[in-house]
Amino acid sequence: MTTTGLRWGILGPGGIAQAFANDLVLNGLTVQAVGSRRAEVAAAFAEKYDVPNVHASYEALLADPEVDAIYIATPHPFHAAQALLALEAGKHVLVEKPFTLSQAEAEAVTTRARELGLVVLEAMWTRFLPHMARIREILGEGTLGELRSIVADHTQNLPSDPAHRINALELGGGALLDLGIYPISFASAVFGTPAQVTASATFRGTGADAAVATVFTYGDDRIATTLSASNAHGPNVASVIGTEGRIDIDSVWYSATSFTVYNNANDVLETFTSNVVGRGMQFQALELERLVAVGELESDLLPHAETVSIMGTLDEIRRQIGLVYPGE
């Protein structure tokens, strides 16, 4: 796999960062440095993934002259401030989803990136996977006719421990931002920003949302429904439905998976099976590297305006369900 040779630094070596680093290493990309607030955590991560530069603070990582791009993998409330610090340090930035806690924060980060002439990209890795690339082609070819609806869920049975990150409001916990971001971003990719949002939720004892259901309408004949939940495991499938057929994406739909295209007679028009090395998180890194190589600041697959718009949709859902994070 061809790369442009950017040297990556990992800010926050937790579980998602381990998956990211593993995919980069498997596919020949360069993980140059890791930074953690705990020296022993950074050292263990570096040993596992053969990372040469080890830093016991985020500040030291950002000051490392051998790092070109930073992957931010900390909890959601820290994304905006850390992305801004990385940009001010002259680094390109890949920010885990959700990009920030709010639309205002997303606007601040993307604006500053443009001012500094640096790439900032939301790490919605699903958007860059091969099966999603083929789905975009099929939709563009008009195979499904006029698009009418999207149905998607992201549901997991995660720990109920109040101290767990998914249930901790101070860490931006809850089903919406951790899990719902996937189907909501998918709806945005296909249909754009909804004209109307309707949302309902149930909650944990900590005040974090346990399940969120949404209905999006778009001012025409299109509608999208999503379900995100941290308290029960569902099918984790998705469908795009048009007047001439549909695409059913298999579980787990937001990962490198398979899909089938049907016409209205339920005849199979096409099947697709993903064949990727690792989990598939390398594709978002390759997109950032491509942008840097060609001198572009944002991706056509996930432009700044869409990232900001998605955060606006999440803001509206939170407003409707009454989800407020500390300090807001």
Largest CA distance in the chain: 60
Burial 273-292 (b: 16+ CB within 10 A, else e): ebebeeebbbbbbbbbbebb
Question: CA torsion, points 10, 12, 13, 19, in degrees to nearest 10?
Answer: -70
97 counts as catalytic: yes
In Å, what is the CA distance from 55 to each residue of 39, 171, 200? 7, 23, 43
Residue type, 252: V
Q: Residue 307: how many CB atoms within 10 A of its CB?
A: 28
Q: Residue 163: how many CB atoms within 10 A of its CB?
A: 9
304-321 vs 181-191: helix axis angle to the nearest 10? Answer: 130
- Which among 55, 76, 92, 97 is annotated as catalytic? 97
| Residues forming the active site | 97
